[in-house]
Structure 1
């Protein structure tokens, strides 16, 4: 123990539970009792972390960064603080430890460990912000077709960064804070990839794991932080979609995206879940994806569409399979009792009901998907097939690399029918998570 342990422990607990006002009050009241070399950094870290969890690195403004130049991004602020600690680590090495007392030696060793731990913390924070900024750039280029699998490799690398320097008692709270965020980010992208790849066991396992991490993160905040001390978004913030009186914006983003992935999973694996869980599974499944089912049912009533189907390309190579860690050694398709590997295309969802695989309409749909596969694969455009001389009209849209949405009408429909195109765009954005990713569009340059 050193004379600073208790104060530092309280400070980092406040920081980890996002009690930024309490952390600031502690510094103002007892900062003179702390080591002078770190107090200025602690003040900065309160400001930076408050802004970080309010997405200051994405949407701006950076928050109450009163001592920071206005032209600096939050990422630059963290980088500067990171470099200051590295320089301090180099310049403040004790010249003669042999003459120090036992207590002085303990304090010197403690401060060195604290400095090293904070360097690691800031390095990881900076890496996370760079990744978020990459996603932001992708959303600004094309908000409707952002492929999260493109960020799996970098997220995996961040998750493998050595955090052992944070394994000292006073830094444990912020180590857990970092770990919760990194684990959620990795599990979110892994779940996203597994669902896009139509991998049932891996998908459901990672979704459950992410649920457990989110619960730990949430419990840590709620058990240790009074709601009066949580930050709130301003009324003008573009993140009001995520506004909650009791949850930080960063946590809320992951929570909402997890909800979306669960809904998407139940939609893609409806038949499998019913086959495993029986008809009783329909009630809890309906609660996970009410937005999908409500929009589909409403569109069916309004548009007189004959079929709304999702087609799986069963033989298409999986995406980024080398970068995901499978939960089971067996091929994911083998775990699906309803999967037939002999057919390259299969209907995995259909509304108002599922036709038999031998029905003529099924063969017509699959033929359309197969013939136009190369055009559909980019996911950018809707394929339209219909004219006044045809008895049916088809709209095809690639959702994920292996999943295609097909609408079939029993009569001629115009290619630019707004009722149809609006539904396609809405369902596409929901299934791809574009709505959740929209907040990245406001990232500062």
Structure 2
């Protein structure tokens, strides 16, 4: 039986040094969101190696051209676009599926022709085996990408649901990190791995922060926010993406255009929304560290100034009080009160009315005389997460509106008069505030064209 012919291979420098440097540059471009540069780099390689069509390197170059296109689509969230007969989402999944097949073929071809490869000069052998190894690890990377695509699909769907279970999302992303982060570790893929790790860590820290805020844990949620901020900054600083300012045709106005890909922008805004939420949930704690004027100024710089929204609402409707109330009986740990507490300091579990503290109250302290009614409404457990409950108490001639801001935190508005339960302004404000604090619209905004979606 005749031996299969040895595939034509272009002459290489020792150990394929030129090709290896091209690979390093290619994956560096991808980690910097420079997807077009990565594609152009491989397009040039394709032209150079036209004569060796069918060689492992030529096949690898072809696959990497497609890989850069797929990564660009992923980072632009193109796979979550509103689908027309399922094409938008399926298109990227199909691209990754085809890439898996191509990379596996290259890997298997080298393995099957190992006796031929081993007959090549030493440097050639090492380079062929390197390509096979990289193909195997890139297959693992694509499997991880397929999991994160499912994850963002789950987030976008959750944004339109009544119940938002952040713990489920944390479990999913934690599993992705645990299962996949060690499967593509070659030094040539270091930049790609770093980018993937940053992405997963950032969303994990942000979700953890959101959960901890819903339990009014000041220090822990702050630390998670800080971790997310540090990793976002590190990830962004490695990129070559910049914001540019474009002037209108007549030069009277300008618009800042971000070169960051949509996924990075979405994560950046998610962090900003949680910073704004943190500023509201721990407003009293933070305000004690500065002057009222400075606190107001700092709040106004947030992506959402919740305290200003509440102030304007209270004045317009003449509400007696607007509060955020924490149900401490629904949290697993002993609530220690607002702010930082020494870890060794012992606290007893609050009981009665004290187990429903107002973590935010405007104007001034929460109205103690109304608190038995407020606690009764919350402990009644009939409040729907996406609706506003209204009760009028004839005895005290007061109206109470209540809705969920988080699973354990409630927005409560009190009027010392009879108000219609169908008051559109009150209901709209409370529904909108509750939705914003849950980050529901931001979750839904992952899928452009969805109701209320906005990628700012």
Secondary structure of 1:99's counterpart equals: coil
Closer, same or farther in 2 for the Cα pair 1:87/1:122, shift >3 Å? same
Paired residues of 1:266 and 1:285 also in contact (CA < 8 A) = no
Tell me by how many angstroms 1:390 deviates: 5.7
User: What residue number does 1:30 align with?
Assistant: 45
Residues 245 and 272 of structure 1: is their aligned pair in 2 closer, same or farther, counting only changes over 3 Å?
closer
Structure of greater relative contact order (alpha carbons < 8 Å, 6+ residues apart): 1
SS of the residue 2:179 aligns to: coil
Provide, for residues 135-156 of structure 1, a one-character-per-residue CA deviation record: whole Å limited to 9, x for no partner: 233334x2x6433322111110
How far did residue 162 of structure 1 move? 4.2
Unpaired runs of 5+ residues, structure 2, are 1-14, 50-56, 247-255, 342-346, 451-456
Asked if the contact 2:323–2:412 (Cα under 8 Å) also holds between the matched residues in 1, the reply is yes
SS in 2 for 1:436: helix
Q: Could you tell me how far 1:332 is from its partner in structure 2?
A: 6.8
Cα distance in 1 for partners of 2:422, 2:386 equals 16
- Structure-to-structure mapping, 1:424-443, within 5 angstroms: 424-442=430-448
- Within 1, Cα distance between the matches of 2:140 and 2:297? 43
Are 1:381 and 2:395 an aligned pair? no
The reply to whether residue 315 of structure 1 matches residue 324 of structure 2 is no
What is the total number of aligned residue pairs between the two structures?
Answer: 404
Aligned to 1:236: none
Partner residue, 2:309: 295
Residue 124 of structure 1 is matched in structure 2 by 144
1:258 correspondence with 2:278: no
C-alpha displacement of 1:365: 2.3
Shift of 1:31: 2.1
Task: Report what 2:377 is aligned to.
Answer: 368
**RMSD value over aligned CA atoms?**
3.0
Report the Cα distance in structure 1 between the residues aligned to 2:89 and 2:153, rounded to whole angstroms.
17
Q: What pairs with 1:310-349 in structure 2 (closer than 5 Å)? A: 310-318=324-332, 333=336, 336=339, 341-342=349-350, 343-349=354-360
Q: Summarize the Cα distance change of 1:125–1:405 in structure 2 as closer, same or farther, 3 Å threshold.
A: same
Partners of 1:438 and 1:4 lie apart in 2 by 43
Instruction: Tell me how far apart the structure 2 counterparts of residues 213 and 390 of structure 1 sit (CA, whole Å).
Output: 52
Alignment CA distance shift 1:172-1:60 (3 Å): farther
Aligned residues of 1:309 and 1:349 also touching (Cα < 8 A): yes
- Find the residue that maps to 1:348 and give its secondary structure: strand
CA distance in 2, matches of 1:114, 1:70: 29
Q: 2:417 maps to what in 1?
A: 411
Decide whether the 8 Å contact of 1:264 with 1:289 is kept in 2: no
- Which TM-score applies when normalising by structure 2? 0.80
Counterpart position of 1:6: 21
Residues 71, 220 of structure 1: alpha-carbon distance in 2 compared, 3 angstrom cutoff: closer
Cα distance in 1 between the residues matched to 2:89 and 2:75: 20
- Partner deviation per Cα, 1:325-361 (whole Å, 9 max, x = no partner): xxxxxx67378469974232111101111237xx312
Counterpart of 1:4 in 2: which secondary structure? helix
How far is the alpha carbon of 1:226 from its aligned partner?
A: 6.6
Q: 1:350 aligns with which of 342, 361, 369?
A: 361
Alpha-carbon distance between aligned partners in 1 of 2:194 and 2:119, rounded to the nearest angstrom = 37
Q: Does 1:56 align with 2:56?
A: no
CA contact (8 A) 1:60 1:443 kept: yes
The TM-score, its normalising length taken from structure 1, stands at 0.82
Unaligned runs of 5+ in 1: 63-68, 233-242, 322-330
Q: Distance in 2 between matches of 1:42 and 1:431?
A: 42
Q: Which has the larger radius of gyration?
A: 2
Q: Deviation string for 1:349-381 (max 9, x for gaps)?
A: 01111237xx312333223322x2x212x5132
